[in-house]
Amino acid sequence: MKAIVDESTCIGCGLCEQTCPAVFVLVGQVDKVRVDPVPEDEWDRCCEAAASCPVEAITVEE
């Protein structure tokens, strides 16, 4: 699984980092993806973070 953050859409709210800190990290006002691929034991939290993003900036690919 791969997570992608659209940095032009991200508003830097930090929610994804709170939900799944192993994968997402806020750098300044933009969120970055720490790991590629996403470790299997983080898939659920990663998907939860993607679903919770208020501006739908996170895409998750199989």
Question: How long, in residues, is the chain?
Answer: 62
Q: Does 29 bind ligand SF4 (CB under 6 A)?
A: no
What distance, in Å, lies between the first and last C-alpha atoms of the chain? 4
DSSP 41: G
Q: Which one of 3, 23, 31, 38 is in contact with ligand SF4 (CB under 6 A)?
A: 31
Q: Which one of 3, 5, 23, 38 is in contact with ligand SF4 (CB under 6 A)?
A: 5
Rounded least distance, CB 46 to ligand SF4, Å: 11
CA atoms within 13 A on the CB side of 26: 12
Residues forming the site for ligand SF4 (CB under 6 A): 5, 10-16, 24, 26, 31, 53-55, 57-58
